[in-house]
Amino acid sequence: MLQLKVQDRTFFVPESWEEVTVKQFSDLVKFRIELNPARVMSIFTGIEYDWILNAEPQEIEVKLLSVMSFLGEDIDLLALVRKDYISIGGRELKVPKDIRNETYGQKMFLQELINESIRKELPMYEIIPSALAIYFQPIFDNSAFNDKRVEELKPMMSHTRISEAYPICAFFLKKYIQSFPGKRESLN
């Protein structure tokens, strides 16, 4: 991440797809119809869209547009490699290798999440914060699974990098389908 200052505002911007968060990626897709350079800058910096529209053009063009040249490159989410650790809340957490060893509550909440996403026709990146919270809450808190705490952790999970989170969630969902007995809705 690169720290920049435009007028009186200091912010960080990603310099590559490796640094883009789940929320930023989700917002890029969500606003794809209305996507313009100012919207992209707002998504990546967290600065209000209207402020960027009214900023001095020289500072915006020179400082921001040149930094985000990586947007011209494609990101292949399916080609991303699952790592053994993920950075969440400033901590490196070990990724569970076998979700069959996780709790019934985690499996049950993931099932509910999958069913809801199918009903609402949500793409996988939309459920990433919830899936991460379900499986990393006990690891993050060093405690038993707590569904109320899962809800509290979701906003933090949306700030994980899409390059780390997507392959881990794809792994969770694939392993879930293989490990949970009983009737379930199709992910296809």
pTM greater than 0.75 (yes/no): yes
* pLDDT score, position 72: 80
User: Can you give the residue ranges of every domain in the chain?
Assistant: 2-75, 78-179
Q: Burial of 69 by CB count in 10 Å (0-12 exposed, 13-18 middle, 19+ buried)?
A: exposed
Tens digit of each residue's pLDDT (9 = 90 or more) over 8-36 = 878 888 888 999 999 999 998 888 888 88
Q: Are 38 and 55 in contact (CB under 8 A)?
A: no
Tens digit of each residue's pLDDT (9 = 90 or more) over 32-75 = 888 888 888 889 888 889 988 888 777 677 666 666 778 888 88
